[in-house]
């Protein structure tokens, strides 16, 4: 109950969450991560599903993997098949869990060393999944969903449901990695999709300066 009350407060004053944080102090606190996600979604104009306050408390789980990843997509929300109104934008969730790889979990809990940028990127992956969790845009698990592979990466990223998650992720990443660049991008008077590409590519250029394979055209 306490979490729900504070969630409502944070929705009313979302900027409070970031104003508490200095640019280099990232937090693995679930409550702060959730509020940061909602703050970013508001900044980017990403719709939040209306029944988020009906959800059970959100937990973070882990699975064994050496990769820095979360379980991708809305199936990260387990057990999603028990969700209410699964095929609607009014859906809400019973016992939702976001699963992080064991590597990602150790990084965000400061148990594993990495570079500063990949440290931020680890948190960004969590923001990506949390955006899926809260977003109003919904794609079921049907055959139209395009899974990300190196061959079709752009098509994967540009599906509305993924575009929103990658955009929120990039915003978070740049907020901590290059706040000046983020500010400049957000001030550009350009179509939303163009802004998305710049946000996304700026994140990937910082992470992989010599590799353009994941860059958008
Ligand atoms: Zn995704």
Residue 38 lies in a domain: yes
Question: Which residues have CB under 8 Å from 215's CB, separation 6+?
Answer: 201, 204, 205
Tell how far the Cα of 26 is from the centroid of ligand 1, in angstroms: 21
Residue 111 lies in a domain: yes
Residue 15 lies in a domain: no
Residue 11: band (very low, low, confident or very high) from pLDDT cuts 50, 70, 90? very low
Tell how far the Cα of 163 is from the centroid of ligand 1, in angstroms: 8
Residue 4 has pLDDT above 70, yes or no: no
Give the predicted TM-score (pTM) of the model: 0.83
Question: Which residues have CB under 8 Å from 18's CB, separation 6+?
Answer: 36, 39, 175
User: 3-class SS at 84?
Assistant: strand
Residue 98 lies in a domain: yes
State mean pLDDT over 4-30.
Answer: 50
Residue 20's pLDDT is what? 41
Residue 76's pLDDT is what? 42
**Residue 17, burial from CB neighbour count under 10 angstroms (0-12, 13-18, 19+):** buried
Tell how far the Cα of 13 is from the centroid of ligand 1, in angstroms: 27
Best mean pLDDT range from 40-44, 102-106, 108-112, 132-136 = 40-44
Tell how far the Cα of 164 is from the centroid of ligand 1, in angstroms: 8
Tell how far the Cα of 146 is from the centroid of ligand 1, in angstroms: 10
Locate tokens 């504070």: which residue? 6
Tell how far the Cα of 81 is from the centroid of ligand 1, in angstroms: 18
d(CA 195, CA 45): 12
Residue 206's pLDDT is what? 95
CA dihedral 64, 127, 32, 194 (to 10 degrees): 170
The number of folded domains in the chain is 1
Tell how far the Cα of 133 is from the centroid of ligand 1, in angstroms: 10
Q: Which of 64-68, 69-73, 86-90, 189-193 has the lowest mean pLDDT?
A: 69-73
Residue 215 lies in a domain: no
Tell how far the Cα of 73 is from the centroid of ligand 1, in angstroms: 4
Residue 7 lies in a domain: no
Residue 132 lies in a domain: yes
Query: Ligand 1 is a single-atom ion; what residues have CB below 5 A from it?
Result: 162, 165
Task: Specify whether the CB–CB gap between 62 and 102 falls below 8 A.
Answer: yes
Residue 150 lies in a domain: yes
Closest of 173, 159, 180, 160 to residue 201, by C-alpha: 173
Give the burial string for 121-150 (b: 16+ CB within 10 Å, else e): bbbbbbbbbbbbbbbebbbeeeeeebebee
Tell how far the Cα of 188 is from the centroid of ligand 1, in angstroms: 25
Tell how far the Cα of 159 is from the centroid of ligand 1, in angstroms: 10
Residue 160 has pLDDT above 50, yes or no: yes
Q: Which of 19-33, 42-56, 66-80, 156-170 has the lowest mean pLDDT?
A: 66-80
Q: Strands across the sheet with 97-101, in order?
A: 59-63, 97-101, 77-78
β-bridge partners, 42 = none
Residues 44-62 have pLDDT tens digits of: 999 998 888 888 888 888 8
β-bridge partners, 70 = 100
Tell how far the Cα of 172 is from the centroid of ligand 1, in angstroms: 15
Domain extent, residue 135, equals 20-207
């Amino acid at each position: 109950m306490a979490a729900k009350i504070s969630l409502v407060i944070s929705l009313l004053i979302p900027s409070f969450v970031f104003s508490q944080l200095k640019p280099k102090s990232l937090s693995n606190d679930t409550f702060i991560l959730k509020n940061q996600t909602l703050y970013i979604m508001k900044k980017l104009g990403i719709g939040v599903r209306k029944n988020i306050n009906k959800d059970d408390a959100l937990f973070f789980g882990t699975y064994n993997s050496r990769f820095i990843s979360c379980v991708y997509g809305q199936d990260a929300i387990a057990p999603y098949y028990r969700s209410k109104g699964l095929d609607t934008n009014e859906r809400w969730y019973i016992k939702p869990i976001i699963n992080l790889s064991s590597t990602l979990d150790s990084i965000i809990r400061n148990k594993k060393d990495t570079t500063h940028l990949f440290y931020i990127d680890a948190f960004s992956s969590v923001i990506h999944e949390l955006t899926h969790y809260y977003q109003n845009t919904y794609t079921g698990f049907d055959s139209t969903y395009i899974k990300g592979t190196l061959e079709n990466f752009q098509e994967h990223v540009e599906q509305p449901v993924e575009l929103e998650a990658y955009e929120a992720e990039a915003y978070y990443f740049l907020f901590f990695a290059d706040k000046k660049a983020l500010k400049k991008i957000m001030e550009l008077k350009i179509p939303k999709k163009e802004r998305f590409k710049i946000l996304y590519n700026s994140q990937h250029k910082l992470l992989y300066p010599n590799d353009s394979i994941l860059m958008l055209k």
